[in-house]
Structure 1
Amino acid sequence: MNFRRYAIYHLPGGDLGAFGAAWLGWDVRAGTTPSRPDVPGLPGDAAAMTAPPMRYGFHATIKAPFRLAEGHEAADVIRRAEMICDHLAPFALPLELRCDHGFVALRPVVQPPELMALEQALVTRLDDLRAPLTPAEYERRKPDALPGKARAHLDHWGYPWVLDLFNYHLTLSSNMPADRAQDLRLALTPALAALIAQPMPVTDIALVGEDEEGRFHHIADVPLRG
């Protein structure tokens, strides 16, 4: 399959990963559209509430989608990521279900140093494999509306919310009014309670690719071996 962009994700595994893929309606690993779970009390249609994030799948972005620099291929990204992850240790994230800025998402209770080291290493040490943003890609990020530090990151790294501005999140909805997002959070709480009762292990990252329809597909896992 030909991919127009690549990204580094963390893809939750186990029952949590399966639920998230089914809830969003797209399984990045399998490249399939699983049946959505029956969640009582939803404040609307599940497909409509998850339409924008569906094509990305249930994931946390570690390095945002990018086009490959000329002369490089996906195998180069995998090799470089393996070199990086050979020196980074697995860890676990206690998660909570939250509403922030109109989005419902699972977020860490705290972001441990191991998570920050993983993100920083992959953002900075893979960046020479990234093609520069086109003018259209740059303008899509609305640079004039960004805070100064975020715009500086966009200029340097091709994405604003990295390094000191990075926040791990597993998105579960599109943007919606705050009261509706709160209703969705309440409806999802019983379904997710057992799945996040224990900290979620982070033992690997994944290279994913975006197809011509805008959906992302799993390409390779890279384990944390440190």
Structure 2
Amino acid sequence: MNGSRSGYVGSLLAVLLLVAFAIGTAGAWPPLVAVESDSMAPGVERGDLVVVTATDRSPWGEGVVGSDEDEPPERLGGSGDVVVFTSPNVPDRPILHRAAFAVTAGEDWTERADPDRVDDDCVELRSCPAPHDGYVTYGDANDGYDQSTGISPVVREEWVHAKALGSIPTLGYVRLGIDAAIARFGLVPATVGIVTIVAGASGVVSVILGRVRDGRRIDRNG
């Protein structure tokens, strides 16, 4: 009983330490973002897990680099920074999209836009002229800019939570499952259940590895 309890506590501490390290290093919460749609395909697809950091952390300086700038960085299968931001149009659902270019208040940004991503003139768009300084954004797989399709107004600097570093295929389904468990059962019960599962899985793996080691010792002694 004591051994099981010690293993449970050890697993819980390990999870907490891992989370604390990730937050401290990334400077953003959550440091791992699960992709829920295919709007950034093919570079990032639904179920992928994206690693993000705060915009003022290494390896970047301050600000966001748009895909239209000279020699923009390559992020997640395309040019320009991929950012996590919150739109007032969908405030309960952070968006992971690519920055196209920065705009200033009052600017007719359609003059710099890719004609394949915007069909209307400035006077026909709610976010044009730009109501404030910020960024025009888009999903790689979407036909239009977020500001021409109604997904978001021009994205203010303070709406941007993080930049994307890279992605891990399919691992995001684990995060989506955790989020679903928290939404259904609550944070504390879901956390206890997850830690219990991790502790149990760790115990099973330890037993299997122990038997493998014991088998090798028997073979050598024999």
Could you tell me the TM-score, scaled by structure 1's length? 0.23
More relative contact order in 1 or in 2 (CA 8 Å, sep 6+)?
Answer: 1
Question: Max radius of gyration: which structure?
Answer: 2
